A and B are shown apart, each in its own frame.
Chain A
Amino acid sequence: MDDKTIVGMAEDAEFARWAYQETCPEDALKKPEALAHIRVIDASYASFAGLFASSILAEMGAEVIRIEPPGGDLARKMSPYGIMIKDSGLAYISEARNKFHITLDLRQEEGRKLFSQLSAKVDVLIETFKPGHLDGLGLGYKHLSKKNASLIYCAIHSYGQRGEDAEKHANQPAYDIIDQARGVIMSITGEPDLDPEVPREYKRPLKHGSWIGWNTGGAWAAFGILLALFDRTRTGRGQFIDCAPAEGLLAISNYLMQYFHISGEQMPRAGNYDYAIFPYTYVRTKDGYTFISGFADPNWTALCEIMNRPDLRAEFPTIKERLNPHNQPTIQHEIEKFTTQYTSDEILDMVQNYNKRRDKKGTVVTGRLESPLEILGREHWNERRTFVRCNDPYYGELLVPNSTFKAMSRTPGRVKWVCRPIGADNEFIYQKYLGIRDRKLKQIKL
């Protein structure tokens, strides 16, 4: 890689070169893996929270055994417009990395026995069934931990394993939309309540575009599992992890709880506004949208200078005025009168030129709002190997996001293979762990 690419816009070129040496993508596969010694069963069903959690562990080198029912996990069918590549949808293919795929029928006595035997040989078990389902089959934490005291058992469900609501809704399956709805964040995401220019029918709760409930929930589960593994290195003891993705969102809902605690009041939906920092928003431009910020007094002055609007600075002189929810639509619409005359790149140029001026009053930040296709074409992401492209022997040409842990200097995360068909690893895994050979395997209904 040439020096210019490595150094980019770095403040300290020497540091960039050093960091490149330490985290060079070409070396990643030669380095050890943090969790190479850890075995995981991911028995999740119809849940990308479970799949995301086991993806993180698999990227770090854990041997993850996916257990699916004979017909395959319902998650394989969750795909936009029903698009399938062979037996799998686009979402599943993106989250099956480095995992072994076996089938097993929990409705059969034989299947339950195999499940129990495999669980005795692993460090971690992930499941996403309705609370108590596996317990009812004799395969809950209390059963499995008897044979395997160091087992870390992680159950993931929207309502969690216990509590008033978990009991009341025990018959409900878990979904991303439920996690988002119960995570409180959805109640204040969406078009702004207080902007008169927004038609009334859009003033309602809005989910994030992607499965933020599931993915965040899965990341919390992986965090909990790693905490438990660390504790186990010191105590030798396993534990039970109760992960409710809805709580995973509630816990990161900015200051909603704290503000309610001190004031007894709820905050309105802010849309692209922000009642603690503004301007800090997306604005329309000639060719799309761009982010723009100028919150603190000097930065607001700078933004007004760039727009040549001293009157705006005078009208909203302190953060008190700029954080007033009733002023924010006005400020937004005034800024857009300026930005809609230019393209996002022209605005970036103006801002960068201003920021270089010696007499600048503050710093303004801007950046165009990118579409997925634009992101796929960016040189930076290409050099950093943000995406993995491969020709899979079964699924053909694929592109999925790489491990975001790939720049760990000693134990980089990685994607070794992308996906496996339903039951593709039955022979290998059953032979390896339970010594079940070909002929016997054929007799078991998998």
Chain B
Amino acid sequence: MPKTKSYRGLTKELFDPRQIFEKRESLQGIRVLEVCHVVLGPAACDYLAEFGAEVIKFEGQGGDSMRFVTPYAYFWKNLSLGLEIENHNKYWVGMHLGNPRAKELFLDLVKRSDVVVDNLTAGTMAQWGLSYKELRERNPRIIQLHCCGYGSWGPWTGRPSYDAVAQSMGGLSSITGFEERGPLKSGVWIADWVTALMCAVGIMAALNHRARTGEGQFIDYMQAESVIRMLDWTWLYSFKTGENRKRSGNRDLAICPSDLFPCSDGWVALAAFGDEEFKGLCKAMGQADLCKKYPDPTQRLQEENAREILDRITQWTKTKRVQEVEELADKYGFAASRVLSANDAYHSQHLRERGAIQEYDDPLYGPMVEPCYPPRLSETPARLKWSSRPLGFDNGYVFAKILGLPPEEVKKLEDEKVIFKWNPQIPSHCPPAEWDGVRGVKLPFSSERKHNG
């Protein structure tokens, strides 16, 4: 079909990952100051960084706590994977903003920046004399987003939050799991990643508003509330029926069929809600009677009917291989897919040719293969430039390039411990053991080499 072919040609041309570095970036020229630690705040800034923002990340002397969170306590080339995953393309400064001199340097940077993000306990920046009021005095266009579990005011403000707490306080855990078993956490820190995404959305709305009006603003964002927002019909259902939404394993209570089914050689996710799709599925199964029995989608959602339908599909899939079901879905127009593993995704030609997984050479860590944030933008695509960095790795660059401080003054700030670098006693602060003291340094000063020595 020539029509399909031309669409294929067009999309191939528009989204060619080999062209990424020839294209512009949405956030070129936007500077973000990241006063964040753990996952949520850094991830929000990471999304902006992969779309072109210049993100400057500040760490205290102990370092971001993710420097110590890595699977099986395995530190690869002195790197913690827990830190690496939400920190790309950033500039790393070791400086505690509670230090009065650091505060002045920070305010100088605020004058030359667009966005400040913090996920400290509400009020911490205010106690350092860095509340939004003070930032705005230096730069009326500045946007600040503060994110924490329960927001900056209200009965629960000040309560600490973690990803798993937010999953539980927001109701996600209570509806995740099998009906007859206990509640389960997500396999990943989902409440961090997704809240971070909503934070990035809020920042983008504020940047768009500022582009039109010149006005900055303060954004107060709540992690547990963002989990609440992700639970689709849960709230209206409880409000109308007075009941809790129950756990239902892989079965979707609002779409039937939509579930995970057993095949002879594994699991297949399958869904067919539309009339044509359901007809197609019944035809593939050779059970046209099922389709006649339940012609309307809402009929199929009623408990007893749904159980019958899901049971009959189960009996059928058990006799098939996963790939057979996928092929039948292609042919008959319903949805079916295997459950992809890390191995599948890593080796997927599809994801590589889309730029969803990108390969790059990091000057410190060598060849890296990682996901790059979606969506794919035809004119201003996301890209991976470099990985996370040792503590204070870019002090020299940031203070020389942006604030114009001469090398001796940077050295003085270091000597007086206003700014600092990695502690050689703490491996996950440090560059890889084999680092030559030069690679990856953006503006090399002699002090860099000394620290390596």
Q: A6-64: which residues lie under 8 A (CB-CB) from chain B?
A: 6-12, 14-20, 22-23, 32, 34-35, 37, 46, 48, 56, 60
A206→B176 contact, CB < 8 A: yes
Which of A167, A239, A248, A320 contacts B380, CB < 8 Å? A239
Q: B215-240: which residues lie under 8 A (CB-CB) from chain A?
A: 215-222, 225-226, 228-240
Chain A residues with Cβ under 8 A from B211's Cβ? 230, 233-234
Q: B366-398: which residues lie under 8 A (CB-CB) from chain A?
A: 368-380
Chain A residues with Cβ under 8 A from B310's Cβ? none
Chain A residues with Cβ under 8 A from B333's Cβ? 171-173
Nearest A residue (CB) for B157: A8
Residue A337 at the chain B interface, CB threshold 8 Å? no
Complex Cα distance, B376 from A208, in Å, reads 25
Which of A9, A141, A370, A373 contacts B10, CB < 8 Å? A141
Residue A78 at the chain B interface, CB threshold 8 Å? yes
Chain B residues with Cβ under 8 A from A7's Cβ? 153, 157
Chain A residues with Cβ under 8 A from B81's Cβ? 255, 258-259, 262, 276
- Jot down 10 A-B pairs with beta carbons below 8 A, ordered by A: A90-B254, A132-B3, A160-B376, A169-B326, A173-B333, A177-B250, A210-B175, A231-B26, A250-B340, A365-B165
Q: From B94-102, B197-205, B401-409, give the one contacting chain A.
A: B197-205
Q: B340-379: which residues lie under 8 A (CB-CB) from chain A?
A: 340-346, 348-351, 353-354, 356-357, 368-379
CB distance from B116 to the nearest CB of A (A): 14
Residue B21 at the chain A interface, CB threshold 8 Å? no
B225→A386 contact, CB < 8 A: yes
Q: C-beta contact mask, B147-186 vs A, less than 8 Å → 1, else 0? A: 0001111111111101011001111111111100111111
B235→A400 contact, CB < 8 A: yes
Complex Cα distance, B354 from A50, in Å, reads 21
Residue A131 at the chain B interface, CB threshold 8 Å? yes
Which of B162, B186, B208 contacts A280, CB < 8 Å? B162
Residue A207 at the chain B interface, CB threshold 8 Å? yes
Chain A residues with Cβ under 8 A from B14's Cβ? 240
Chain B residues with Cβ under 8 A from A371's Cβ? 171, 174, 244
Complex Cα distance, B345 from A314, in Å, reads 40
B157→A10 contact, CB < 8 A: yes
Complex Cα distance, B375 from A80, in Å, reads 30
B269→A177 contact, CB < 8 A: yes
B374→A247 contact, CB < 8 A: yes
Residue B336 at the chain A interface, CB threshold 8 Å? yes
Complex Cα distance, B238 from A264, in Å, reads 45
Which of B326, B340, B343, B375 contacts A244, CB < 8 Å? B375
CB distance from B189 to the nearest CB of A (A): 6
B238→A224 contact, CB < 8 A: no
Chain A residues with Cβ under 8 A from B226's Cβ? 404
Residue B127 at the chain A interface, CB threshold 8 Å? yes
Q: C-beta contact mask, A372-385 vs B, less than 8 Å → 1, else 0? A: 11011001110110
Nearest B residue (CB) for A162: B11
Residue A220 at the chain B interface, CB threshold 8 Å? yes
Chain A residues with Cβ under 8 A from B334's Cβ? 172-173
Q: A23-B220, A261-B369, A323-B71 are in contact. Are A209 and B247 (CB under 8 A)?
A: yes
